[in-house]
Amino acid sequence: MNKVEISGVNTAKLPLLSSEEKAELMKKVKQGDEVARQEFINGNLRLVLSIIKRFNGKGENLDDLFQVGCVGLIKAIDNFDVNQNVQFSTYAVPMIIGEIRRYLRDNNTIRVSRSVRDLAYKVLAIKEKVNREEQREASVEEIAKELGIEKEDVIMSLDAIQEPISLQEPAYSENTENLCIMDQVSDKKNTDDLWAQNITILEAMKKLNEKEKMIINKRFFEGRTQMEVAEEIGISQAQVSRLERTAISHIRRIYK
């Protein structure tokens, strides 16, 4: 995030326009002045730069994010209504963020079915339209009504295209202490009772002979099939099955 030149643009020399200059340029842009349009784009590249910093740590190429953010900026310029009593930056920020998120979703490592993805894009199109025309967030109910689908389908489609989050990603930070996503996820599998059971089973396994230990370990700790174990240790599948039953009976007797 400390690059000075991004996509051929020297970010250290980006122009800074005043509110009055932006308002005057926007009037000219809406009148079809291409020179003013280019000047207005250059004058708002700092806004794109500030937004892509929010996506730091996602593993994406900074130049790509900057270019996608510029696409969002241009869309915001084209769709901005000068008659609305709203600052351009207020209108442009969600447009730029939306464009970047769409790009990240399309490049997501988790594959989603085409029908779900298409539905999600329809939902997002309505959200962006309402945000653009009415400067508010569209509710799930009105989106569902507009598309003629159930509310659950709206929520499901949006959830399906969310980018994956690392369990190591900080969810909260105070001073030097970081609370990660993983710290907020309850673990119903590795409970104290289960740990105690596993320790007891491991102790019981110490009393098995070497072949029984090997079979139990491969079958239940490594997830191998009886046929795979038989081929590995050079005996028949029937022998593996018999030794497995004998070993389990020994463990049960010890466990009791």
Residues 219 and 206 in one domain: yes
Residues 198 and 137 in one domain: no
Cα–Cα dist 9/51, whole Å: 16
Torsion sign, CA atoms 205, 208, 209, 211 = negative
Give the burial string for 124-148 (b: 16+ CB within 10 Å, else e). Answer: bebbbebbbeeeeebeeeebbebbe
- The token pair at 237 is 């599948």
Tell which residue, 97, 142, 101, 96, has the closest CA to residue 123.
142
- The token pair at 250 is 């020994």
Other CB atoms within 10 A of residue 238 CB: 10
| CB-count exposure of residue 150 (10 Å: 0-12, 13-18, 19+) | exposed
**pLDDT tens for each residue of the chain, 256 residues long:** 555 667 677 777 788 888 888 889 999 999 999 999 999 998 988 888 888 887 766 567 788 888 898 999 999 998 888 887 888 888 888 888 888 888 877 766 555 667 777 888 888 888 888 888 888 888 889 999 999 988 888 888 877 766 555 555 555 555 555 556 555 555 555 555 555 566 666 777 788 888 888 888 888 777 788 888 888 888 888 888 888 888 888 877 766 6
Helix (H, G, I), strand (E, B) or coil at 174: strand
Q: How many domains does the chain have?
A: 3
Write down the residue that tokens 């005043």 correspond to: 18
- The token pair at 58 is 């996602």
Q: Is residue 182 part of a domain?
A: no
CA 107 to chain centroid: 10
Other CB atoms within 10 A of residue 42 CB: 13
Residues 41 and 86 in one domain: yes
Q: Which helix (H) or strand (E) holds 44?
A: none
Residues 91 and 127 in one domain: no
Residues 128 and 95 in one domain: no
Q: Which domain holds residue 139?
A: 109-165
pTM for the whole thing?
Answer: 0.45
Residues 3 and 101 in one domain: yes
CATH code, domain with 60: 1.20.120.1810
